[in-house]
Amino acid sequence: MLELAERFFAAIEAADLDTIRACYASDARIWHNFDGIDQTVEENLNVLVWMIPRLINKRYDVMRREVLPDGFLQQHVLRGELRDGRPFEMPACVICRVSEGRITRLEEYLDTGQSSALRESKLVQ
């Protein structure tokens, strides 16, 4: 489980969409506390594609990572730099359910107030 967690979050840091996709089961669902909507893998990858040019030098500072009976939990702070040079950080907690070595459900808990700087960030030309 911890190997999968490490591979998954390293792939997000590296913007490696193929590895991210491979970590998910084909029918996985991704849920966020702020909208309560289940996303498909492709919908979630579209969000990551949107984020890639807006947040540079992104990294996950892992505060806690634990194996669960059916997956893993990770508490972290996503850090990086907005395109205008401002630092960005967003604490979050992710609970992943895993079957046959792939994530079948990811639930992410975060404060949207923390993410507003990223949503409002303009791409610098």
**pLDDT value, residue 116:** 61
pLDDT > 90 fraction of the chain, expressed in percent and rounded? 77
Q: Cβ-count burial of 27 within 10 angstroms (0-12 exposed, 13-18 middle, 19+ buried)?
A: exposed
Looking at residue 60, what is its pLDDT?
96
* Residue 95 near residue 69, CB atoms below 8 Å: no
Length of the chain: 125
For residue 14, give Cα distances in angstroms to 30, 40, 48, 57, 122.
20, 21, 11, 9, 21
pLDDT tens, position by position, 25-72 = 999 999 999 889 999 999 999 999 988 888 999 999 999 999 999 999
122: confidence class by pLDDT, cuts 50, 70, 90 = low
2-120 to CATH, choices 3.10.450.50, 2.40.40.20, 3.40.50.720, 3.40.1180.10? 3.10.450.50
**Domain extents for the chain?**
2-120
Return mean pLDDT, the chain. Answer: 91
- pLDDT tens sequence across 73-87: 999 999 999 988 899
d(CA 69, CA 74): 14
Q: What is the DSSP letter of 59?
A: E
| Model pLDDT for residues 68-120, shown as the tens digit of each residue | 999 999 999 999 999 888 999 999 999 999 999 999 999 999 987 766 666 56
